[in-house]
Amino acid sequence: MARRIAITIFAIVALGAIILFALWATSPDPRGNAATFEDSELESAIRPLDEAVTLARMERPGGDIATLLVLDFDGNAATVVDLETLGAVPSDDPFEALASVDGDDLASRVTGDIVRETVSMDDLLPAAGSGDRHIATGTNFPEHAEEASSDSVFRFPKFGTATPARTTVTAEPDVMLDYEIEMCMIFDRPIRALEDFDAAAKGFFLCGDFTDRSTLIRLIDPDNLDSGHGFSDAKSGPGFYPAGAFLVIPRDWRAFIAEERMTTHVNDERRQDARGGEMTLDFRELTEQALADMAEPRFLYQDDYYHLSPEPEIREGMTLMSGTSEGVIFTPPTRADIIEGGLWHLFSGRLFEGETLTSSVIEVFIGNELETGHFLQPGDIVHYRSSSMGDIVIAVE
């Protein structure tokens, strides 16, 4: 009888091991999220002046900052006119410089013998300016919300100054480095209420939001993404906020964002392709959400809690970010990761050291992802492009 029971137990254990191995061996190994792409290639062009004014900034010899009216762009250089030649006041604030000239007369004034310059994209400053606090947005495109298993749009503070449209980012050996393309917005005044939003001049530019997915998955509260836990830490690393050089101030901002197309390529491989009109909440609605979420210091960053903004306003120089579309690299732990993590948790002693099963699965998942090289690697080139906000090229080091 004892021998029969032993044989039965062995058979059950063996069968369980075979099933577990089969589940592990047949687990999918996604290399990123699929995205849909438009049939036609994206064509970049500067908007006509009767639709939008496109500005850029450049540091002149001696340190003065010139505000430039952008007329054309070929990928490597832009054709520009210094606004001072059109009578603008000297200012490193593009909104102030533009407000000091007759915007309705720009088209006729740049058709004559006005002095034009050709400037390299390498010489242009980021359109984001020098602000070091920004309002980032999560899961504001429906398909990306599905990727992230999120049922709402949320926000969190992003820390750090912008890098230029030609820049680098470092891929640390222990970091799952992911890309995100976004549309960003700044204002010519502090925004304390929706009436300020409606009255403000609004500038749009292309931007990126790199993410340390290793940090994010360790800190995130998957049951409450709106808690903000993990996002500020994961998205505020050095070089994690590249910004395009062109600031587009459209006459009809809603029509502009609805039409504007943005794409991501990594080493010339298509990864993301979306239009601003796909956003769940537009920028006015994002502003309304942000202004209603400034009372409590509820956002965790570097072991301390912060307000969404230092003051109860979207201050000048602070970026409001759109969120990204589908096609990011990150996918949740696979069946194989969960099996490996569970076995490691059981047989390594972590079970008796106060560690949770979830933390064991996360560490196994991160190790597997780093080993297989799913995420950005040194030598990769990330290229963000847009219909009329220019492009950003980032070399991964």
**Helices and strands per DSSP (H, E), number in the chain:** 11, 19
Provide the greatest CA pair distance for the chain. Answer: 104
The whole-number pLDDT of residue 14 equals 59
Query: Alpha-carbon distance 295 to 313, whole Å?
Result: 10
- CA 324 → CA 2, 20, 145, 255, distances in Å? 62, 37, 9, 19
**pLDDT tens digits along 145-156:** 888 778 889 999
**pLDDT tens digits along 241-288:** 999 999 999 999 999 999 999 999 999 999 999 999 999 999 999 999
Query: Alpha-carbon distance 279 to 257, whole Å?
Result: 9
Provide the 8-state DSSP code for 227: G
Taken as a whole, the chain contains a residue count of: 397
Instruction: Give the Cβ contact number of residue 256 at 10 Å.
Output: 23
Mapped onto helix, strand or coil, the DSSP state of residue 102 is coil
Terminal C-alpha separation, the chain: 66
The whole-number pLDDT of residue 110 equals 80
The whole-number pLDDT of residue 66 equals 95
Q: Give me the residues paired with residue 190 across strands.
A: none
- Give the chain's residues under pLDDT 50: none
The whole-number pLDDT of residue 30 equals 77
The whole-number pLDDT of residue 20 equals 55
The whole-number pLDDT of residue 132 equals 95
Question: What distance lies between CA 5 and its chain's CA centroid?
Answer: 59
Provide the 8-state DSSP code for 363: H
Enumerate domains of the chain plus CATH numbers. 52-123 (no CATH), 133-332+374-396 (3.90.850.10)
Question: DSSP string spanning 10-44?
Answer: HHHHHHHHHHHHHHHHT-----S------SSPP--
Read off the amino acid at residue 219. Answer: L
**Dihedral over Cα of 132, 138, 142, 147: its sign:** positive
The whole-number pLDDT of residue 11 equals 54
The whole-number pLDDT of residue 118 equals 96
Question: DSSP string spanning 116-160?
Answer: -EEEEGGGBPPTTTT--EEEEEES-SHHHHHHTT--S-EEEEEES
**pLDDT tens digits along 346-396:** 878 776 776 788 888 899 999 999 998 889 999 999 999 999 999 999 999
The whole-number pLDDT of residue 150 equals 84
Per DSSP bridges, beta strands 177-178 and 261-266 are unpaired
**Residue position matching structure tokens 């994002």:** 286
The whole-number pLDDT of residue 221 equals 87
For residues 279 and 257, the answer to whether their CB atoms sit within 8 Å is yes
Question: DSSP string spanning 159-213?
Answer: ESPPB-SEEEE---TT--EE--EEEEEEESS-BSSHHHHHHS-EEEEEEE--EEH
The whole-number pLDDT of residue 112 equals 72
For residues 247 and 56, the answer to whether their CB atoms sit within 8 Å is yes
Per DSSP bridges, beta strands 177-178 and 211-212 are antiparallel
